[in-house]
Amino acid sequence: MIGSLSSVFACIRHAHDARLMVVAGIVCAIGIYASFALAYHAARHEGRVRTYWGLVSVNASGCTAWATHFIVLLAFKPGMPAAFDPVLTFISLSCAVIGIGTGVSIAIRARRTVRQFIAGLVVGIGVATLHYVGQAAYLVQGGVSWDLGLVLPSIVASLPISGLAMVAAASRSRRIRTCAAPLLLFSIALLHFCGMAAMTLHFDPAARFPANAVSPQA
């Protein structure tokens, strides 16, 4: 357990560009606050108005999570040549919009705390799917092995935090609602860094990228 935590902290400290990490944090924070505000606005209306603002919130939340994930991947320093698979990258974006959007749609219509929590779990599943499909899209000149002792806890630990974030977002108390965005931000960060620490890269000078791979410097 201690070794796993050390791997996570080492990943944060040594394997990421701090400047891009700050950018990712700002994008994520602003996007989450905006998405929650849009969802709260949609929940207060009915009919076409609710549908319109709900769709805006769905797209905002999905794109926020994906943009944050992609910027943090750009911040990652693998120590070897890297590239992106454009098809899997697009699929990860689709997972973000569909998965997170489904959770937000449930939350907008939910009236009970249990349903809000379930909506948060769906959002968390969407973020986890986005993250690991996105990591599969991250190619290196070599191979990748995974530590399931970090992969599974990254998902299990982040889901209830996402659930609590959606419960807080639906609260009538402004003070409690202000906790929603930090909770979701923490959930996303926990998932990402545990997931990145679970990945071990093996350099192979003979390895070649697929013809459609896109360089981060492109």
- Domain assignment present for 173: yes
pLDDT in tens, 147-166: 888 889 889 999 999 999 99
pLDDT above 70 covers what percent of the chain? 92
Residue matched to tokens 């549908």: 51
Q: Would you say residue 210 lies in a domain? A: no
What per-residue confidence (pLDDT) applies to 3?
43
pLDDT at 49: 85
Q: Is the pLDDT of residue 58 over 90?
A: no
| Amino acid at site 82 | A
- Mean pLDDT for the chain overall: 85
Which pLDDT score is estimated for 90? 93
- Rounded Cα gap, residues 65 and 32, in angstroms: 8
Provide the number of structural domains found in the chain: 1
**69-111 residue pLDDT tens:** 889 888 888 888 889 999 999 999 999 889 988 988 888 887 8
Structural domain includes residue 6: yes
Note the helical H segments in the chain: 2-14, 18-43, 47-75, 86-95, 101-109, 113-136, 148-169, 174-177, 180-197
In a domain, 19, yes or no: yes
Rounded to whole angstroms, the Cα distance separating 154 from 133 reads: 15
Percent of the chain with pLDDT over 90: 27
**Span 15-36, mean pLDDT?**
87
Q: Is residue 216 part of a domain?
A: no
Q: Identify whether 211 is part of a domain.
A: no
Domain containing 188: what range? 2-203
pLDDT band with cut points at 50, 70 and 90 for residue 200? confident
Residue 13 within any structural domain of the chain: yes
Cα gap 140→168, rounded to integer Å = 39
